Homo-oligomer: A and B are copies of this chain.
Amino acid sequence: MLYEINEKALKLESEGKRIIRLNLGDPDLDTPPAIVEAAYDAMKAGKTKYSSSYGEKPLREKIAELHGVKPDNVVVTPGSKWGVFATMYLMLRNGGNVIIPTPYWTAYGLIAKSLGAETRLLKTELENDWKVDPAELEALIDKDTKMIILNNPNNPTSKVMDDKTLDGIVEVAEKRGVTILSDEVYGAIAFTKTKSILEYDGGFKHILTNGFSKTFSMTGWRIGYIVADKLLVDKITRLNQITINNVPIFIQDAALKGIELRAQIATAIKQEYEERAEVASKMLTAAGFSFSKPDAPFYVFPKKAGLNSEKFTLDLLDKGVAIAPGSSFGDYLEHFRISLTAPKEQIEEALNIICEAPK
């Protein structure tokens, strides 16, 4: 229903209605000008030719440095979603199943479906602080299980996994020989330290997918990367060769500039979103919603007992606010997702409407 809501919001806007759009994870902040200038400089310097399907050396080196790995373990992708697709394509196109804790980003399930792979959902709940139970996870694993997908910090809960839970998941995965694909696209701007999958066993049994979209407000640029063992990096590169070929070099130069200015950019983004999360949390608490306070940008995933969030979402659209129903992320009809991707005043205005609505 996520795409349906978005299309309806766009349609209402095109009819002249004002909609506060809190339904997508697309930051309202502009790409920092220094990043734009780096892209322009690269274009003018003629960096507009075919290039390596691995990604450019300087960028791979910088990413490797960031994660404490070797450049050989890095491949640049057109967005972290491509990293997810490519990995799933390589591991699941001949069948098998993938285990995904919920609530989850629907793209994982849609990719599995497209590849003809089975998706096994593992439900976690607000009441249990969104914790994955390793025993429940293990019960879902069988001989056809090829992969576990984690999204840490999580979309839609903005929850960062505690170390003990992550340790437990990794232990089960390693015991049963199942690879973890860890999507940590919100990790660099989390409000609390997020333990990376790379911190386990040199990291190369498992796979990290990451992107520049969220950390550097570069959603539309389509650039991300995979960190994995060299064998998988080579395989993804060969898949890149027969599909997207390369991420434009000028976009890679822009991303490189982003990493150079990382401390400054990420700090500003983190601060802005922490303030927004604070505002939203106060208003939602006062209105009697239950939720876990965000550990990271961009989302809050509140619940109200008895709520039909699909109806709620459609009603809110008529009142000029776009959010996403919880059912878009699994079996969570009583929840809804608010993206804090608008200026604070708009968030406050929208929350006043949201908090009034279900009464």
Contact = CB atoms under 8 A, between A and B. Distances in A.
Interface of A: 3, 24, 26, 30-31, 36, 39-40, 43-44, 46-51, 78-79, 81-82, 85, 93-94, 107, 110-111, 114-116, 217-222, 239, 241-251
A244 B78 contact: yes
A49 B36 CA distance: 13
Given A46-B30, A93-B93, A94-B116, A220 B248 contact: yes
A354 to B, nearest CB: 23
B220 A249 contact: yes
Contacts of A93: 93, 115-116
Given A36-B44, A46-B30, A94-B116, A222 B242 contact: no
B242 A244 contact: no
Contact of A48 (B111, B115, B218, B242): B218
Given A248-B222, A249-B220, A243 B46 contact: no
A70 to B, nearest CB: 19
A318 B220 CA distance: 44
**Which one of A43, A46, A115, A116 has the greatest number of beta carbons of chain B within 10 Å?**
A43
A3 B50 CA distance: 13
A222 B243 contact: no
Contacts of A43: 31, 36, 39-40
A181 to B, nearest CB: 15
Which 7 residue pairs spanning A and B have beta carbons closest together?
A49-B220, A31-B48, A85-B243, A36-B43, A40-B40, A48-B220, A26-B50
Contacts of A85: 242-243
B94 A242 contact: no
Given A31-B48, A43-B31, A116-B94, A81 B245 contact: yes
A118 B61 CA distance: 39
Contacts of A50: 24, 26, 219-220
Nearest to A30: B46
A20 B221 CA distance: 34
Contacts of A248: 220-222, 251
Nearest to A249: B220
A119 to B, nearest CB: 13
**Which one of A220, A221, A248 has the greatest number of beta carbons of chain B within 10 Å?**
A220
A242 B111 contact: yes
A242 B110 contact: yes
Contacts of A114: 239, 242
Nearest to A85: B243
A54 to B, nearest CB: 12
Contacts of A82: 243-244
Contacts of A47: 220
